[in-house]
Structure 1
Amino acid sequence: MNSLSSILDNNQFNLVYNILSLGIASMVFTSIFLFVARERVAPRYRMAVMISGTVTAIAAYHYFRMFDSFNHAFAGAEGNPDLYNVGYRYVDWFLTVPLLLVETVAVLALARAAQRSMLNRLVPAAAAMIALGYPGDAKLDIFGIAPSVWGLLSTLPFLYILYVLFIELGKSLERQSAEVRKKISTLRLVLLATWGVYPISFIFNMNSTGFDPAGFVAREVGYSIADILAKCLFGLIIFSIARIKSAEDDAEFAKNEFRD
């Protein structure tokens, strides 16, 4: 055991403590909003909104677990960083990242064949990206492979996902309205910007052989901010797209929902 001062100082502890607390609050209240507001979109788009709410609800549960794990590992006069379970994040991502892609495709209400084609490629790629990233982040000794190699392997399905979202999905947007296309462009940029934070945070903690307090804090803060944007902000944009498409499909809905 090491003294707390040799693991995390008070400022570092408080920063991670507060960012995990912010993650819990963001996920919980975004979930509540999305589940309550699902009736404010047309029935064919409610599935996308419900998936968004499910994503943030799953994340809220895992943030509670991470918060508890962090306190158990670092609070008090003595601490043991080995007790902090980074696996909670990866279980969360393994469930929620594929669902983020499902809600993106679902809200566009594409033809069934087009939806199936995209999801059959996006969901396995997302699962592979998370599964390959975990051994490197947790610094597991599997076949003697270095963390940097796991990070590189995880990047390959990430690049494929970007290709499908920006190139192939882009082709399907021609039949969407200008307002929806603009929202989808924002959605993809949010995804690119937030997902880009994950490898940067991964690198912060990759090269140290032991426990690196600064790298740990940078990783947890980076992951948490990216999660809030990639799940909460993403879900709210999905909700706004569903509202726009509901109004475009149904003049009566538009009259009732957007009247002055």
Structure 2
Amino acid sequence: MNSVISEGGYSLVFNMLSMGIAAMLFTTIFLFMAKDRVLPRYRMAVMISATVTGIAAYHYFRMFESFEHAYGPDAIEGYVYNVGYRYVDWFLTVPLLLVETVAVLGLARAMQTSLLVRLVPAAALMIGLGYPGDAQLDIMGIPPSVWGLLSTIPFLYILYVLFVELGKSLERQSAAVQRKVKELRLLLLATWGVYPIAFIANMNAVGFEESSFVLRETGYTIADILAKCLFGLVIFTIARIKSMEDDAEFAKHEVRD
């Protein structure tokens, strides 16, 4: 085994990445299989959720492969673990997470457009600014810590839109949907809060430090599972609630099943 990581550290990251693959893959399968349990107008949100976990499953396979090449029993000399796989994944999936949140509410087209034109670019900017800091790149003379700080600006803006702007549209939703959307926003806040903690732990490391690496990979994986798999299942639940509220015949059929 590569000498820069202990057996315990290797086993923990190995098992976390394996769990990430399983969680993303089987959540994707469930959501694709269950999409017909909601009305057509809400299926897009469920399909986007499945797409998010599907993209993540692919990137977890790639991260697992990269980890094995860097630290596994047959590690390749000089191979460096590619943290870029996570950021490519987030660059694709984080905007989609926000799209599915808006899509499942069935808002008027003008309201949807207004929210998405603010949320999607902010999400892409947040990920784009965060990568140089996490990868410890010194781009244009800007140190990694500054890149991390810059990425928090769009992050805070996203929270403002979700909690303030989106909150205004919840008045038209039922009490059950309002409760689930509030849970969804808190889940997003709690899971996204893990990323800067792991980011800071890695940023403060000088060279390779096993504890920082293991904390980062473990924290990111747990947060990813909650922010993608659990998030997608809550989206599916909201779609089910709204489907049964909109169509009494559909609700009767679903309850009977």
Which bin holds the TM-score, normalised by the shorter protein? over 0.9
Structure 2 contact 24–56 (Cα < 8 Å) conserved: yes
Structure 2 contact 95–123 (Cα < 8 Å) conserved: yes
**Displacement, 1:77?**
6.7
Q: How far apart in 2 are the matches of 1:101 and 1:190?
A: 13
- Secondary structure of the 1:4 match is coil
- Change over 3 Å in CA distance of 1:125–1:184 after alignment to 2: same
- Secondary structure of the 2:193 match is helix
Q: Partner letter of residue 26 of structure 2?
A: F
**Displacement, 1:81?**
7.3
1:136 aligned partner: 133
Runs of 4+ in 1 over 2 A off after TM superposition: 76-82
**Paired residue for 1:178, among 164, 175, 179?**
175
1:40 aligns with 2:18: no
**Paired residue for 1:234, among 231, 234, 240?**
231
- Which stretch of structure 1 is more off in the superposition, 69-78 or 185-194? 69-78
Q: Aligned ranges for residues 220-259 of structure 1 at < 5 Å? A: 220-259=217-256
**Paired residue for 2:110, among 110, 113, 119?**
113
Structure 1 contact 51–103 (Cα < 8 Å) conserved: yes
Structure 1 contact 87–134 (Cα < 8 Å) conserved: yes
Structure 1 contact 197–226 (Cα < 8 Å) conserved: yes
> How many corresponding residue pairs?
257
**Paired residue for 1:88, among 74, 77, 85?**
85
Q: Partner letter of residue 190 of structure 2?
A: A
Deviation string 1:136-186 (CA, Å, 9 cap, x unpaired) is 001112012111111100000000000000001000000000000000000
Where structure 1 has 5 or more consecutive residues not aligned to the other structure, the ranges are: none
- Secondary structure of the 2:205 match is coil
- Which stretch of structure 1 is more off in the superposition, 206-215 or 184-193? 206-215
Where structure 2 has 5 or more consecutive residues not aligned to the other structure, the ranges are: none
Output the TM-score relative to the length of structure 2.
0.97
2:162 aligned partner: 165
- Change over 3 Å in CA distance of 1:78–1:230 after alignment to 2: closer
